[in-house]
Amino acid sequence: MPQVSLFSNGTIALVTALQALGIGGEVITTPFSFVATSHALLWNGLTPVFVDVEPGTLNLDPGRIEAAITPRTTAILPVHCYGHPCDVARIGDIAARHGLKVIYDAAHAFGVEDAGGSILRHGDLSVLSFHATKVFHTFEGGAIVSPDPQAKLHIDRLKNFGITDEVTVAATGINGKMAEVNAAMGLLQLKDFRAAIARRARVDGTYRRMLRGVPGIRCLEGAETVTNHAYFPILVGPGYPLDRDALYVRLKAHGIHARRYFHPLISEFPMYAHLPSAAPRNLPVASRAAREILCLPIYPSLDLASVEAIAEIVAHPERAAP
């Protein structure tokens, strides 16, 4: 039975998850994520090894993982990007064959289910973020989902300084505890979660209907598997009259704040760029996605007339020239 340990934020939860499994050496991960994914590795003295993503989903490409495994590799840290489930079967199979741990950065994946239930059950651990920008939030917060009470006990001690009782400190823990006020916010959000997802689904459906067939605009594959509608990513590619940044600026001129998640790639930041695996020629799919990606506004209270107005600008940018 999966267990949950609440944390002060997703980044400390990631750092603690790596500690809990005793990960060392090199960890295979994706460059197409929020920078905290890789920062958690550096904070543990680990070396990230970047592997390119799949063009259809922008998740870590399982077909490229094995070529990146070395004798120092101990784990894989994939991201369910935009809430799209990774290919958990193939990743699990590779990990089993090479004796690697799998920690999913599930910061985008709260509420996502596959045929067997919550996708948070996959891998050795899954890590959530409850930051205010996420689909379910506690202002700041996070969690680790672990497989059994034993694993949860270990993680709960690590987030509380490693204390096991009043006079015993058994591990070098940290203070990662979620505060009560954040937990209270989470309880309020939970009450409304299903309804909020249903409203997001309507926003998603409206964008999809209006953007279908717009030359140069592509949605990601497998939309039906993204059951939490946390994001609405589009790729602004060849055949569109503007490049991505020009569309971003055009929307901004109309007071619409789209986000370039994830540009720049993690591998472009100065603490990563020197790594051999960070070379752009190693990451052609991610590099192109970073140039083309744009996440359109999506939140439960976004009314459908506004969604149509935003989609209209994307579909006919020339009519919206400033």
Question: Which residues of the shown chain bind ligand PLP in the complex (CB under 6 A)?
Answer: 9-11, 33-34, 36-37, 79, 105, 107-108, 129, 131, 142
Question: At its nearest, how many Å lie between ligand PLP and the CB of residue 293?
Answer: 14
Nearest to 309 by CA among 301, 294, 295, 319: 319
| 83 phi/psi in degrees, rounded to 5 | 85, 5
Nearer to ligand PLP, 143 or 310 (CB): 143
Please say which residue, 11 or 126, places its beta carbon nearer to ligand PLP: 11
The nearer residue to ligand PLP, 28 or 311, going by C-beta atoms, is: 28
We find the least distance from the C-beta atom of residue 79 to ligand PLP, in angstroms, to be: 5
Distance CA 172, CA 86 (A): 32
Minimal distance in Å, beta carbon 216 to ligand PLP? Answer: 27
DSSP string, 171-190: S---B-PPPHHHHHHHHHHH
Single out the residue of 143, 179, 177 nearest to residue 158, CA to CA: 177
By beta-carbon distance, which residue lies closest to ligand PLP? Answer: 10
Cβ distance to ligand PLP smaller for residue 33 or 73: 33
Minimum CB distance to ligand PLP, residue 20 (Å): 17
CB-side neighbour CA atoms (13 Å) of 279:
4
Cα–Cα distance measured from residue 289 to residue 296, given in angstroms and rounded to the nearest whole number: 15
Contact by Cβ (8 Å): 104, 86: yes
The one-letter amino acid at 241: P
Amino acid at the residue 247 = L
Query: Of the two residues 142 and 173, which places its CB atom closer to ligand PLP in the complex?
Result: 142
Least spacing, CB of residue 131 vs ligand PLP, in Å = 4
